[in-house]
């Protein structure tokens, strides 16, 4: 099967028997599309999706929970305090040198953080004092202040953080991890995405399979309503009736297949029916949070206005990992605080602080934190200055040269802060590393070698880092 993308156009549909592409496109955003995507590589390779050994057998991390704070969280107002800005607060200056965006032009004003900072845990981790819950698990975190990216535009920066390529079309990190390690549960997608109601900038391409076989793409669960459309059979149709219908269809299709060997569309459709049926057995139970005890739901902040939404995502992520889902990505946004940063970041931190801390504590007490790598990041950091003057309206602009990312579990160097930014927080100056190096390091924590995790496409072997990167050794315990 071709891995080239298919873009159907209205009015251009040929009058012919349905092709495989017609069939795939017609599935739509429903259970059928989820199930079918999980079968394409099996069909292409004529083998089932199973777990595979990594390149480094001793790796601790087996699964990933990726917490994507879309919009660009300010490192200066979360985990990287800059006392110098208190002395320069609202001091006017003109930015010199090469401008990377229109937002950085003209008169600028330095902006101090509206948040106070504390030293949390025995490790003395720097945290804004409104991270009241995360501070309790500070010693489980490894902070990295040296990461840089290439773009200050949201869509391209999102693509680079998620796929290694600023221009989209390449496989997402979760797709690469599933390609390298395989799936631990054939009845569930190996890469699940929990987005907001509005998709992040760049859309679904952030979790694309790119040029990898289609079963490696991320499966988004809807933020409202049924997580997966057409998950359950129509009213009045029992599972027994479904099973009998499938058996009859399979019998008829098998007879037809004998007369038409190599009929890929028919074979794919038969497999699709079967996987969709199996998913109906396991998906509803996995997605149902009502059976969790009240103490657990309270731990995640479920039921509280500020934390209910993200708390549900974090609890669901834990359940998915327990069921063998390899990579779960959670989205929270938007952290694009160009003004009123105290109010904007304050509300955002309030919404994720308790759920994230609960996720870490819950995984730890279940013995799953060591094998689960948690990543917290945005697509870039923010500047120490802004173009909004005076009052309380100030915020920050985009910054590709400095950001804070933290890791937890999965063999990371917990209890340490790696790298540093300058006294203003404008650029990384110690332990500086490109996002490709971060990607290579995340793969290494999972036992994968970026130079060996390749896929032949368009005349060359391709990899997540694009052209290679270096492991950031200080991030690994």
Contacts of 307 (CB under 8 A, 6+ apart): 300, 301, 350, 351, 352, 353, 354, 355
Instruction: Indicate if 345 and 451 belong to the same structural domain.
Output: yes
Q: Which of 143, 179, 166, 209 is nearest to 377 (CA)?
A: 143
The whole-number pLDDT of residue 108 equals 84
pLDDT at 240: 75
Residue 253, pLDDT score? 76
Question: 124 and 262: one domain?
Answer: no
pLDDT value at residue 22: 45
Helix (H) / strand (E) containing 439: helix 435-445
pLDDT of residue 271: 57
**Domain annotation covers residue 288:** no
In this structure, are 72 and 108 located in the same domain? yes
Please tell me whether residues 237 and 305 are part of one structural domain: no
Whether residue 12 lies inside any domain: the answer is no
Q: Are residues 356 and 246 in the same domain?
A: no
Q: How far apart are CA 185 and CA 40, in angstroms?
A: 16
Please indicate, yes or no, whether residues 33 and 81 belong to a single structural domain of this protein: no
- Within a domain: 206: yes
Residue 33 is predicted with a pLDDT of 52
Walk along the chain (477 residues) in steps of 10 and give the mean pLDDT of each run.
39 43 45 52 47 94 98 98 96 70 70 97 98 98 98 97 95 98 89 95 96 90 74 69 74 76 60 60 81 96 97 97 96 94 97 98 98 98 83 87 98 98 98 98 98 96 95 98
Q: What pTM value is reported for the model?
A: 0.84
Spell out a b/e string for 120-131, using b for 16 or more CB atoms within 10 Å of the CB, else e.
bbebebbbbebb
- The per-residue pLDDT for 241 is 75
Check residue 394 and give its pLDDT.
87
> Are 241 and 301 in the same domain?
no
Same domain, 244 and 211: no
- Per the structure, the count of domains in the chain is 2
Note down the domain range covering 240: 20-45+229-279
Residues 92 and 238 grouped into a single domain:
no
Q: Is residue 464 part of a domain?
A: yes
Residue 379 maps to a domain: yes
461 belongs to a structural domain: yes
Last residue of a domain, one of 255, 279, 303: 279
pLDDT of residue 304: 97
Residue 348 lies in a domain: yes
Do 386 and 466 reside in the same domain of the chain? yes
Pair 337, 464 in one domain: yes
Identify whether residues 210 and 266 lie together within a single domain: no
Cis omega (within 30 of 0) on the bond before 280? no
Dist. CA 285–CA 322, nearest whole Å: 12
Residue 92 sits in a domain whose CATH number is: 3.40.720.10
Q: What's residue 98's pLDDT?
A: 56
């Amino acid at each position: 099967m071709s891995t080239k993308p298919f873009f159907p156009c209205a009015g251009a549909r040929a009058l012919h028997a349905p092709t495989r592409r017609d069939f795939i496109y017609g599935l739509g955003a429903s259970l059928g599309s989820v199930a079918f995507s999980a079968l394409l590589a099996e069909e292409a390779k004529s083998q089932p999706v199973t777990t595979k050994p990594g390149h480094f057998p001793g790796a601790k991390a087996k699964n990933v929970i990726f917490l994507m704070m879309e919009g660009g969280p300010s490192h200066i107002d979360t985990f990287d305090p800059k006392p110098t800005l208190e002395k320069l607060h609202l001091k006017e200056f003109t930015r010199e040198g090469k401008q990377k965006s229109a937002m950085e032009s003209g008169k600028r004003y330095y902006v101090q953080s509206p948040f106070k900072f504390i030293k949390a845990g025995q490790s003395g981790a720097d945290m804004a004092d409104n991270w009241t819950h995360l501070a309790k698990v500070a010693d489980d975190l490894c902070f990295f202040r040296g990461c840089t990216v290439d773009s200050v535009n949201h869509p391209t920066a999102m693509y680079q953080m998620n796929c290694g390529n600023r221009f989209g079309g390449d496989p997402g990190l979760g797709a690469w991890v599933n390609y390298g390690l395989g799936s631990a549960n054939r009845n569930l997608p190996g890469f699940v995405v929990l987005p907001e109601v509005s998709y992040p900038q760049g859309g679904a391409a952030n979790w694309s399979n790119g040029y990898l076989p289609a079963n490696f793409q991320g499966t988004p669960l809807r933020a409202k309503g049924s997580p997966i459309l057409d998950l359950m059979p129509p009213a009045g149709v029992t599972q027994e009736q479904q099973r009998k219908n499938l058996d009859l269809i399979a019998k008829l299709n098998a007879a037809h297949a004998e007369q038409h060997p190599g009929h890929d569309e028919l074979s794919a459709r038969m497999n699709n029916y079967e996987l969709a049926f199996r998913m109906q057995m396991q998906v509803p139970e996995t997605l149902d949070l009502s059976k969790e005890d009240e103490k657990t739901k309270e731990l995640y902040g479920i039921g509280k206005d500020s934390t209910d939404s993200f708390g549900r995502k974090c609890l669901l992520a834990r359940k998915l990992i327990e069921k063998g889902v390899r990579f779960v990505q959670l989205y929270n946004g938007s952290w694009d605080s160009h003004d009123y940063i105290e109010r904007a970041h304050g509300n955002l931190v309030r919404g994720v602080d308790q759920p994230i801390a609960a996720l870490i504590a819950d995984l730890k007490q279940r013995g799953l934190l060591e094998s689960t790598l948690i990543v917290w990041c945005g697509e870039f950091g923010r500047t120490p200055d802004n173009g909004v003057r005076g009052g309380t309206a100030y915020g920050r602009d985009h910054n590709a040269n400095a950001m804070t990312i933290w890791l937890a579990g999965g063999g990371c160097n917990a209890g340490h802060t790696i790298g540093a930014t300058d006294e203003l927080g404008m650029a990384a100056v110690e332990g500086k590393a490109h996002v490709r190096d971060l990607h290579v390091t995340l793969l290494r924590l999972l036992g994968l070698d970026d130079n060996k995790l390749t896929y032949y496409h368009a005349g060359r072997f391709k990899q997540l880092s694009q052209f290679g990167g270096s492991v950031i050794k200080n991030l690994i315990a």
